[in-house]
Amino acid sequence: MRSFFILLFFSFSILCVKAQDITQLLKEAYQFEAQPNEKMALAKYKEVLKLQPIHLFALCRSSELCSRIGKRETNPQLRSDYFEAAKTYAGIALKVKPDDSEANCVMAIALGRNSMTKSGKDKINNAKDIKGYLDKSLKGDPQNFKAWHVLGRWHFEISNLNVFERAAVNLLYGGMPDASLAESIRCFEKTRSLAPGFILNYYEMARAYYDHRETAKAKDCINTMLNLPNQTEDDPVIKENGRRLLKVWP
């Protein structure tokens, strides 16, 4: 009996130490994201996953960071590797908790990033899957601002398909899905109400307003965005792209 209690004590001690290690690693990951230094933040989340492979939060953050880092990667193979890793982390998160809003959202983000490197049937198939994950994400948490943003992107992209892509969508869906620029704008505005400091959302919303022939609102989105503090490594480039749009828009 004494041996049992000794074993129980040491097991409990190990669990406590592991919990402390995870807490410290998460704190360090938050700090790196705030700098921002996304590759170092990702490294910390990976260390968390070594200690607890099914840590839902670390899986979701690792997935989203891989999607963002991959987008900036200029080497095609490395970019593909990051996007595949994003899908893998999201897939594990969904196995841990299939109905989790964030897990479904990061899978939609991963598939969306992956779609940028594809065309034709693969791109259309991804579009269908993305919508499914977004619906689940917003069902789990109607206030998930990232899911609303990606849904806005989904409506924007579907609305801007070329003739051949529209034909493929018609074949896959049995008709065009219910997508429009107006709905894209509604989703982006919903995102703004939930996360007014989200820089990328202003850029995408500006493009949607411009295509909807509301140039004044489009310019207002860009000007608002330019006055916001940077939060991610992508933000300086997004702002520069916004300045370029202001120069070419009438």
Q: Global pTM? A: 0.88
Give residue-wise pLDDT tens across range 25-72: 999 999 999 999 999 999 999 999 999 999 999 999 999 999 999 999
Residue 144 CA neighbour count, 13 Å, CB half:
24
Q: 221, exposed or middle or buried, with CB in 10 Å at 0-12, 13-18, 19+?
A: buried
Closest listed residue to residue 83, CA positions, set 93, 98, 94, 72: 72
Distance between CA atoms of residues 212 and 128, nearest Å = 24
Give residue-wise pLDDT tens across range 224-249: 999 999 999 999 999 999 999 999 99
Give residue-wise pLDDT tens across range 132-172: 999 999 999 999 999 999 999 999 988 887 777 777 767 76
Distance between CA atoms of residues 182 and 172, nearest Å = 23
